[in-house]
Amino acid sequence: MRHTLSVTVENKPGILTRVAGLFARRGYNIESLVVAETENPQISRMTIVVDGDGRIIEQVSKQLHKLINVLKIQDITHEEAVHRELILLRVNADATNRTEILQVAEVFRARIVDMSRASVTIEATGDTSKIEAILTTFRPYGIKEFARTGRLSMMRGK
């Protein structure tokens, strides 16, 4: 099953390579990895979605812990947390269906960020299932291109 790991790391050169390299050489599957600075510029947070059974996830966590620049690892899969992804997608749209597409986008609380004669570009955020739903819904219109981020996660306040 998919697990979401929230990993705080020291913001040192090469840390991304160390983490990614660890996954590659031990044969773990990264579904997505998002990394950015936190409120403390010396510390970055990585949100890593990894596929595997409990034993594999335990190994992943332990091996990550061995990296000297890794400070903390939380498996927040079963925790109360907020998860978000962002998607940009350009959909075929001409005069006949543009209004319909805009309405569909509205339903998903997506925003139109660009428009041309033959297409519209839509921006949406949400958890993984919402992003999947958006893709499914727009596919019949013809998706020319899309780009999506990995998952960003944060524990809910207690």
Partner 1 sequence: MELNGAQALLKALEANGVDVIFGYPGGSVLPIYDALLDSPIHHILVRCEQGAAHAASGYARASGRPGVCLATSGPGATNLVTGIANAYMDSIPMVAITGQVPSSMVGTDAFQEVDITGITMPIIKHSYLVQDVTEIPRVVQEAFHLASTGRPGPVLIDIPKDVQQTKLTWDGLPEIDIKGYKPTFKGHPAQIKNAVHMIEASERPVILVGGGIVNPQAPAELMELARKAQIPVTTTLMAVGAFPETDDLSLGLIGMHGTAYANLAVSNADLLIGIGVRFGDRATGNTARFAKNAKIIHIDIDPAEIGKNTEIDLPIVGDAGTVLAEINRLVGEHRHDAWMEQIATWKRERPLKYRTDRLTVQYVLEEMGDLTRDRAIVATDVGQHQMWAAQHYKFLRPGQLVTSAGLGCMGFGLPAANGVQVARPDDLVILVTGDGSIQMQMQELGTARQENLPLKIVLFNNNALGMVRQLQHFYCDKRFSGVKLSFNPDFIALAKAYGIQTYQIHSKEETKAVLEEAFAHPGIVLVEVLVDENEIVYPSVLGNKGLDETLVYE
- Tell me the C-alpha distance between 113 and 123, whole Å: 6
The residue assigned the tokens 């998919």 is 2
- 65 contributes a contact to partner 1 by CB under 8 A: yes
**Ranges assigned E (strand) in the chain:** 2-10, 29-37, 43-51, 70-75, 81-92, 111-115, 119-126, 143-148, 152-155
Nearer CB in complex with partner 1: 36/68? 68
- 25 contributes a contact to partner 1 by CB under 8 A: yes
Q: Which of 30, 35, 67, 135 binds partner 1 (CB under 8 A)?
A: 67
Q: Which of 66, 117, 156, 158 binds partner 1 (CB under 8 A)?
A: 66
Nearer CB in complex with partner 1: 54/140? 54
H/E run at residue 18: helix 15-25
Applying CB under 8 A, which residues contact partner 1?
9-10, 13-14, 17-18, 21, 25, 55, 58-59, 62-63, 65-71
